[in-house]
Structure 1
Amino acid sequence: MVQKFHAFMFPWFAFGHMTPYLHLANKLAEKGHKVTFLLPKKAQKQLEHHNLFPDNIAFHPLTIPPVDGLPAGAETASDIPISLGKFLTAAMDLTRDQVEAAVRALRPDMIIFDFAYWVPEMAKEYRVTSMLYSVVSATAIAHDLSPGSELGVPPPGYPSSKVLFHPRDAHALLSLSMFYDRLYHRITTGLMNCDIISIRTCEEVEGKFCEYIGRQYQRKVLLTGPMLPEPDKSKPLEDQWSSWLAGFRQSSVVFCALGSQITLEKDQFQELCLGMELTGLPFLVAVTPPKGARTIQEALPEGFEERVKGRGIVWGEWVQQPLILAHPSIGCFVTHCGFGSMWESLMSDCQIVMLPFLGDQILNTRLMTEELEVSVEVPREETGWFSKESLSAAIISVMDKDSELGNLVRRNHIRLKEILVSPGLLNRLHG
């Protein structure tokens, strides 16, 4: 019989991190383990509905201390632009006393963390096991994301000649270099000092990158698989989307979503809209309003709404992404390739087109496009921008039934999805 344990969970204050941590908490709670989940006060309301085992999973809200530069009331990454990320990490570090007080009072057996690199030091003091659980891809961890590293030159022993940065990616790294430097320092420090390394991935997708990390840090790397939630049957797709999508034939609609943290410049937002129009296909775009605009409508290209009426919608609010991807009318997913969206795209039946913006998204894209060959990437110009023509051409290249490339990525995607949805996957995972 497996001995029951009590784990603390302390993920980075972003929903893309807290949500998969809570899915892992559910898996542990299902087996009878206790979890205390440390998170910002305001985030608790948004995550409570994901807690499937409230008797075993207790939320422990933290007070986020004020930090110069962090807007008043900001508690998660969704509350701020990425450029202010350094102030949120500073606030996270200032919660150390609250975390330590909880450890002293509740005496967990293990603390599971990601960006709070000081956790292993604190855990040793209280004789608690520390586990760094990364919800960022093994590919991104394996590659040196720090701005001091030479672009396109991977670290020694790096296991791929395909999953690399290209010169045209410089804009994405440069614009966030300070934030990436801090994150890279945090993750590597945590990896060096923790007792156990675990990553939200599986051998079939990132096996060689996980082995490389294990060699680099001389630890066994435990893999949890994608950690996507079971579909909630009580919350079907909203009527406005299910009825609109029902008006199109199977696999004909292009769905584009770029995550909550990507806010485009107005010019680039308009290029995105025009690229979708240029495909001639029905489309649904879910993005935040561009910089300087309060609403989507005020930023749309002139005459755009009239021209695409009946076949195209651009939406500026949250949508049920997994349920939209599962709708039979959706045939193509245009994604920024954040790690969560990457898994959702793999578990879907859609063709996949990548439009990455940040360093880890670029490496995830190369993994999917160059290494696994299950998707295509929208080519960028030297400025780092994409054109409406390049976006449209990438979408058509996978949606055209006679396209050799489209058929190749479809076959590879089907093969990989079969492995990922097989009931035995979780049982075969390391650890």
Structure 2
Amino acid sequence: MKMGESTEESKLEIVMFPWLAFGHLIPYMNLSNEIAKRGHKISFLLPKNAEIRLQKLNLYPNLIKFHKLTIPHVDGLPCGAETTADVHRSLESLLATAMDELYDEIKSFLQNLKPHFVFFDFAYWIPDLAREIGGIKTLFYRVVCPAVTSVTSIRSPDKSIFMASTAAELVKPPPGYPSTTVVLRECEAKLLSFIFHEYGKGVTFYERVKKGMTRCDAIAMKTCREIEGNFCDYISTQFEKPVLYTGPVISELKKEPLEEHGLSNWLEKFKPGSVVFCAFGSQLILEKKQFQELVLGFELTELPFLLVVKPPQGTSSVEEALPEGFKQRVQEKGLILDCWVPQLEILRHKSVGCFVTHCGYGSMWESLALCDCQLVLLPRPIDHIFNARLMEKQLKVGVEVEKDENDLFTKENLCKAVKCVMDKDSQIGCLVKENHKKWKELLSSPGFMSNYIDNFIQDLRELLIEKT
């Protein structure tokens, strides 16, 4: 703050430097909009090829300025790769190495700008760099479920902690951990072993997250205390520093047309609340057999369905992966697309009654706060599994599709989960609907989300008052 300014009068200057993945870039962009809405300045560091997509989301271009980064080439990365959307998951470690090689460019940028704060997540070296420059506070802004953070950054790197000896093992917390636990089956627990693998040159994923959270001035979480406060309290205790809440930070609703791909006319053909909508995000790609189980499961429900999904592994189009005779059987009742669609507008359409979701953190909050659909949970990546268990076990707002010991689902189990929530006489369906209604009323109540942002900004000002 400048001399003579009160904390209320001062405007903050913040640098955003998220991990090079749209699942991180977009939440950082949403938070930037909320902060800029209150008159503060944002410098947003992002790869060149991400600018076009994020430019559309920038609601305050006079206050949010993009600083385009040229991502260094690292041997083994595809030419021009700049985000995780450009690489296979197995190459993400090389992308992390490329991000770390931006050190000198980021240092020069921060020395010239001298912002009040830098928000970061995977660039674990930011706190040390900020201290070297002086006068800059750092926030580790986490945009995944706090339960994931508590597992991947706190526990001793002993793989046995995560390995389940039975099919229903609990990931057991240390003494004093809140009563809420996350149930992981053996195949899921083993997936957590990736955090001990190299993620960037000379650093594991575990070290990358833990160092960032240990060395920053404060930790910020994209959540609210009412839903995940117990996890955040535990994290605050373990790292002995404040955990700040931004609230869910859902992007502002914009009326987007459904005419493209004939969606509007297609949806209008069906009765209110009868259509099953399934979307798996922009990066998730299913194996061909799982894709076929998915579409056959929807066929078994005998309900109209809209599926938005990428072509399965090893195929060039969705159509070529369809089971024999499937297209003819479902005819007008099923629509499968492999392109971008306005998800929120679809969820809010009167004909849509069920949302089968991969449980991405953004989709989780959107489905809780902005739609009335029944929720069927079909998580894929490990962090999405935590989101699904939160929604099913703690909030009781959805039903998860059962999987086998190899983490695979069947068409029968998918159909069973959909029928469970869509059957008007189902006790479980009525329970999750009532709980969903309760949480939606809270999250969408006047002032709920804006108050979180206002309090968050006040927390930032108080951090500045502390001696750097």
Tell me whether the two structures share a fold, i.e. TM-score over 0.5. Answer: yes
When residues 292 and 147 of structure 1 are mapped into structure 2, their CA distance, relative to the original with a 3 A threshold, is farther
AA partner of residue 365 (structure 1): A
Question: What whole-Å deviation, never above 9, does each CA across 1:48-88 have from its counterpart, x for those lacking one?
Answer: 01111111111000001011221111111111222221111
Query: What's 2:397 paired with?
Result: 374
Shift of 1:225: 1.1
Matches within 5 A, 1:32-431: 32-127=39-134, 128-144=136-152, 148=159, 149-151=161-163, 152-156=170-174, 157-170=176-189, 172-173=191-192, 178=197, 182-233=204-255, 235-239=256-260, 240-347=262-369, 348-426=371-449, 428-429=451-452, 431=456
Q: Is the 8 A contact 1:22 1:51 kept in 2?
A: yes
Q: Is the 8 A contact 2:196 2:206 kept in 1?
A: no
CA distance in 2, matches of 1:179, 1:303: 45
Question: What whole-Å deviation, never above 9, does each CA across 1:320-362 have from its counterpart, x for those lacking one?
Answer: 1111111111111111111111111112111111111111111
Q: Is the 8 A contact 1:287 1:316 kept in 2?
A: yes
Q: Secondary structure at the match of 1:131?
A: strand
Q: Is the 8 A contact 2:140 2:219 kept in 1?
A: yes
CA distance in 2, matches of 1:328, 1:83: 41
Shift of 1:159: 2.0
When residues 317 and 411 of structure 1 are mapped into structure 2, their CA distance, relative to the original with a 3 A threshold, is same
Q: Secondary structure at the match of 2:73?
A: coil
Q: Is the 8 A contact 2:171 2:182 kept in 1?
A: no
Q: Is the 8 A contact 2:276 2:306 kept in 1?
A: yes
CA distance in 2, matches of 1:402, 1:182: 49
CA distance in 1, matches of 2:267, 2:46: 37
When residues 135 and 212 of structure 1 are mapped into structure 2, their CA distance, relative to the original with a 3 A threshold, is same
When residues 65 and 144 of structure 1 are mapped into structure 2, their CA distance, relative to the original with a 3 A threshold, is closer
Q: Is the 8 A contact 1:81 1:261 kept in 2?
A: no
Normalising by structure 2, we get a TM-score of 0.88
CA distance in 2, matches of 1:291, 1:174: 24
Shift of 1:426: 2.9
Shift of 1:37: 0.3
Q: Is the 8 A contact 1:9 1:113 kept in 2?
A: yes
Q: Secondary structure at the match of 2:323?
A: coil
- Between stretches 406-415 and 253-262, larger displacement belongs to 253-262
CA distance in 2, matches of 1:122, 1:250: 55
Q: Secondary structure at the match of 1:390?
A: helix
CA distance in 2, matches of 1:271, 1:412: 29
When residues 417 and 290 of structure 1 are mapped into structure 2, their CA distance, relative to the original with a 3 A threshold, is same
| Structure 2, unpaired ranges of 5+ | 1-7, 164-169, 457-468
CA distance in 2, matches of 1:184, 1:409: 35
CA distance in 1, matches of 2:300, 2:177: 40
CA distance in 2, matches of 1:378, 1:18: 29
CA distance in 1, matches of 2:194, 2:122: 21
AA partner of residue 278 (structure 1): L
AA partner of residue 321 (structure 1): Q
AA partner of residue 142 (structure 2): S
Computing the radius of gyration from Cα coordinates, the structure with the larger value is 2
CA distance in 1, matches of 2:364, 2:88: 22
Normalising by structure 1, we get a TM-score of 0.96
Q: Is the 8 A contact 1:83 1:176 kept in 2?
A: no
Question: What whole-Å deviation, never above 9, does each CA across 1:225-249 have from its counterpart, x for those lacking one?
Answer: 111111123x333342111111111
AA partner of residue 164 (structure 1): V
Q: Is the 8 A contact 1:210 1:221 kept in 2?
A: yes
When residues 222 and 238 of structure 1 are mapped into structure 2, their CA distance, relative to the original with a 3 A threshold, is farther
Q: Is the 8 A contact 1:119 1:130 kept in 2?
A: yes
CA distance in 1, matches of 2:327, 2:246: 44
Q: Is the 8 A contact 1:290 1:296 kept in 2?
A: yes
AA partner of residue 153 (structure 1): V
Q: Secondary structure at the match of 1:9?
A: strand
- What RMSD over aligned residues (CA atoms) do the two structures have, in Å? 1.8
Q: Is the 8 A contact 2:15 2:118 kept in 1?
A: yes
CA distance in 1, matches of 2:215, 2:376: 38
CA distance in 2, matches of 1:305, 1:335: 23
CA distance in 2, matches of 1:308, 1:216: 53
AA partner of residue 132 (structure 1): F
Shift of 1:269: 0.8
| Structure 1, unpaired ranges of 5+ | none
CA distance in 2, matches of 1:283, 1:326: 15
